[in-house]
């Protein structure tokens, strides 16, 4: 099985470029930056790769190892910052079996700007990340900020950029009740796209529901929408007033303290979940009602008096960080300026 897939535009020299390559059976896809993916279907009936050789990065010991169908035999000249294979980041130097004529590319992380935290290169910039076993937030130059190499002053001083929020799991949350946010929650349809990492196996990520009078028994069919982790797996639950639907994504555990992106979509009674661009799962709520009507606003990362607020569905919030929250594909929730923030800290992503 052999095929040739080329990018739509030439790669820009001297700039960082993100490339995503995937293959499913005979179908291969190549994405370069934000260009449309280029796809090609290999001929024949075989759908499995047989690769007896090791993985070589940047070149190979001999050009005789290359397929004769390759258009070039030249080795790569440049820098490779990150390699993620099947969703696992490869330690380019730590896991290499050997190397020849490999030099240091040069990056701000070489100056150890993160102190005891891990410096994570992001193209020309970097962020600081807690090492395994360190609490959130871990020691940083400023508890309310992360270093951003693109903001360094010429004289050697440093500006700071506000960090993404981290949550402790106990009475730790952000709250939004503004019209722009809520009109995207209270509707016939909602599209949630968020990026987070969690070290807790269970915890609430998002909640919007109905106010409950402490003296009255909660109506089991009160409208609500909840997204969170249950024993390491993502769960979406919602009730539109005529019965509860629960959708669980059992394909990927998310309590590994690594960054994951999830998308939860509800279109009237139907809903779907996708984790890290994987296979989607879907479900539908019972009854005839199709609109979500809540009045608590949107809670992120947890909620006050969480057992009562969620009707016992959750006992704690998430322990970890949330760096992106986009509603309806175009509205980015300002995580750095919520209407109400309680016991949140700055995450070292």
- So what's the pLDDT on residue 218? 57
Q: Mapping DSSP to helix (H, G, I), strand (E, B) and coil, where does residue 64 land?
A: helix
Angle among Cα 93, 94, 96 to the nearest 5 degrees reads 60
Whichever domain contains 330, its CATH number is: 2.60.120.200
Same domain assignment for residues 251 and 158:
no
Query: SS3 breakdown of the chain: % helix, strand, coil, rounded to 5?
Result: 5, 35, 60
Mean of per-residue pLDDT scores for the chain: 81
Phi, psi of 322 (to 5 degrees): -125, 120
- The burial of 31, by beta-carbon neighbours within 10 Å (0-12 exposed, 13-18 middle, 19 or more buried), is given as middle
H or E element that contains 185: helix 179-185
Query: In this predicted model, what pLDDT tens digit does every residue of 81-130 receive, in sequence order?
Result: 889 888 788 888 778 888 888 877 877 777 777 766 778 888 888 777 77
Same domain assignment for residues 133 and 184:
no
Name every residue whose Cβ is closer than 8 Å to that of residue 67 and which is 6 or more positions away in sequence: 2
Same domain assignment for residues 125 and 187:
no
* Most confident listed range (135-139, 202-206, 249-253): 202-206
Q: For residue 82, how many other CB atoms are within 10 A of its CB?
A: 13
- So what's the pLDDT on residue 153? 35
Same domain assignment for residues 214 and 179:
yes
Share of the chain above pLDDT 90, in %: 29
Same domain assignment for residues 187 and 283:
yes
The confidence band for 65, taking pLDDT boundaries of 50, 70 and 90, is confident
Share of the chain above pLDDT 70, in %: 85
Tell me the H-state helices in 200-345.
Answer: 306-309
Phi, psi of 183 (to 5 degrees): -70, -15
Query: In this predicted model, what pLDDT tens digit does every residue of 10-63 receive, in sequence order?
Result: 888 888 899 989 888 888 888 898 888 888 888 887 777 788 888 888 888 888
- So what's the pLDDT on residue 149? 38
> Are β-strands 281-284 and 270-275 bridged in parallel, bridged antiparallel, or unpaired?
antiparallel
For residue 205, pLDDT over 90 is answered with yes
Torsion of CA 334, 338, 344, 345, to 10 degrees: 50
Same domain assignment for residues 258 and 311:
yes
Query: In this predicted model, what pLDDT tens digit does every residue of 130-189 receive, in sequence order?
Result: 766 555 555 444 433 334 433 333 333 333 334 588 999 999 999 999 999 999 998 888
For residue 337, pLDDT over 90 is answered with no
- So what's the pLDDT on residue 1? 52
Same domain assignment for residues 227 and 264:
yes
Same domain assignment for residues 157 and 219:
no
Alpha-carbon dihedral sign for residues 337, 274, 22, 50: positive
Alpha-carbon dihedral sign for residues 122, 18, 104, 107: negative
Give the range of the structural domain holding residue 151, as residue numbers without chain letter.
108-163
């Amino acid at each position: 099985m052999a095929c040739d897939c080329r990018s739509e535009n030439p790669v820009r020299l001297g700039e960082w470029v993100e490339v995503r390559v995937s293959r499913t059976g005979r179908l291969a896809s190549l994405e370069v930056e934000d260009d449309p993916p280029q796809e090609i279907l290999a001929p024949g009936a075989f759908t499995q790769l047989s690769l007896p050789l090791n993985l070589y990065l940047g070149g190979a010991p001999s050009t005789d190892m290359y397929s004769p169908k390759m258009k070039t035999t030249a080795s790569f000249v440049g820098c490779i910052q990150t390699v993620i294979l099947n969703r696992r980041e490869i330690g380019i130097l730590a896991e290499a079996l050997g190397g020849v004529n490999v030099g240091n590319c040069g990056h701000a992380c070489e100056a150890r700007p993160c102190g005891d935290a891990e410096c994570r290169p992001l193209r020309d910039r970097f962020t600081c990340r807690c090492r395994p076993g360190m609490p959130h937030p871990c020691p940083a130059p400023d508890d309310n900020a992360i270093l951003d190499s693109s903001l360094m002053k010429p004289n050697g001083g440093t500006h700071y950029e506000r960090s993404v929020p981290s949550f402790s799991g106990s009475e730790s949350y952000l709250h939004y009740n503004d019209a722009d946010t809520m009109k995207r929650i209270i509707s016939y349809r909602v599209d949630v796209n968020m990026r987070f990492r969690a070290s807790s196996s269970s915890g609430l990520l998002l909640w919007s529901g109905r106010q409950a009078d402490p003296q009255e028994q909660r109506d089991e069919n009160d409208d609500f929408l909840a997204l969170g982790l249950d024993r390491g797996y993502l769960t979406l639950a919602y009730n539109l007033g005529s019965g509860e639907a629960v959708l669980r994504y059992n394909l990927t555990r998310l309590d590994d303290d690594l960054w994951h992106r999830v998308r939860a979509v509800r279109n009237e009674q139907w809903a779907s979940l996708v984790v890290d661009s994987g296979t989607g799962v879907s479900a539908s709520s019972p009854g005839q009602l199709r609109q979500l009507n809540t009045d608590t606003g949107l809670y992120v990362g947890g909620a006050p008096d969480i057992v009562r607020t969620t009707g016992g569905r959750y006992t704690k919030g998430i322990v970890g960080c949330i760096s992106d929250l986009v509603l309806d594909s175009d509205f980015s929730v300002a995580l750095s300026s919520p209407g109400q923030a309680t016991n949140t800290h700055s995450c070292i992503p």
